[in-house]
Amino acid sequence: MTTVRVLIQSKAGVLDPEGEAVKGGIERLGHEGVERVGVGKVVDIDFETDDTDEIESRVEQICDEFLVNPIIERYSYEILDNQ
Amino acid sequence: MTTVRVLIQSKAGVLDPEGEAVKGGIERLGHEGVERVGVGKVVDIDFETDDTDEIESRVEQICDEFLVNPIIERYSYEILDNQ
């Protein structure tokens, strides 16, 4: 089994109201010196196969066709373990 | 400035309806062999300071007091850059 970790985050310049809300909450807790907060999604996908090439091709298809909105989001991924 | 990346994910055994929904979407795209999908949050926090000890202490406070629900969620974090 192989786990892939996909991170989906707002593109630079795109409004991130959840990040702004978290930043406000942190400041209300009394923490100064926080410049920016960005909130996105982490999606862990467990594949049965251990074929790295196949997994990379599938992850890119899944992100491009379904999981990520390329107008406002960017994604990156890493293969966590291969066992 | 130092960026910290916090990952907030469901604890093992806790229902993850968003993960189940993504798994269903992936299967409807025609991808077989996906065993599990887990969806959580990635929160990037930019701190003005570069004092690693101070940052670690603040991140743990922020997560414990506000950002993470310890009944159903777990978190991990890494310091991304220190520049």
pLDDT score of B81: 72
Going by C-alpha positions, the residue among B62, B18, B65, B52 that lies closest to residue B38 is B18
Q: Which of A25, A38, A44 sits opposite B37 (nearest CB)?
A: A44
CA distance B61 to A34: 14
Tell me the per-residue pLDDT of A49-63, one tens digit each, with 9 for 90 and over.
999 999 999 999 999
CA distance A63 to A74: 10
Q: How confident is the model at residue A83 (pLDDT cuts 50, 70, 90)?
A: low
Do the chains contact at B48 and A34, CB–CB below 8 Å? yes
Find the CATH number of the domain harbouring B15: 3.30.1280.10
Res A41 pLDDT > 60: yes
Contact B11/B73 with Cβ under 8 angstroms?
Answer: yes
What is the predicted ipTM?
0.93
Q: Which domain holds residue B65?
A: 2-82
Res B40 pLDDT > 70: yes
Mean pLDDT of A26-48: 96
Taking contacts as CB-CB distances below 8 angstroms, the residues of chain B near A62 are 26, 29, 31
Res B27 pLDDT > 80: yes
Backbone angles phi, psi at A79, to 5 degrees: -90, 120
CA distance A83 to A70: 32
Contact B50/B2 with Cβ under 8 angstroms?
Answer: yes
pLDDT score of B82: 59
Tell me the per-residue pLDDT of B48-76, one tens digit each, with 9 for 90 and over.
999 999 999 999 999 999 999 999 999 99
**Percent of chain B whose pLDDT exceeds 70:** 98
Going by C-alpha positions, the residue among B42, B66, B49, B51 that lies closest to residue A34 is B49
Do the chains contact at A37 and B25, CB–CB below 8 Å? no
Do the chains contact at B26 and A45, CB–CB below 8 Å? yes
By the 10 Å C-beta count (0-12 exposed, 13-18 middle, 19+ buried), B46 is classed as middle
pLDDT score of A81: 72
Question: Tell me, what amino acid is at B59?
Answer: V
Q: How confident is the model at residue B83 (pLDDT cuts 50, 70, 90)?
A: low
Mean pLDDT of A37-46: 97
Taking contacts as CB-CB distances below 8 angstroms, the residues of chain B near A16 are none
pLDDT score of A58: 96
- How many domains is chain B partitioned into structurally? 1
Res A3 pLDDT > 60: yes
Residue A10 CB coordination number (10 Å)? 18
Nearest-Cα distance to chain B for A13, in Å, is: 15
Place of tokens 């798994």: B23
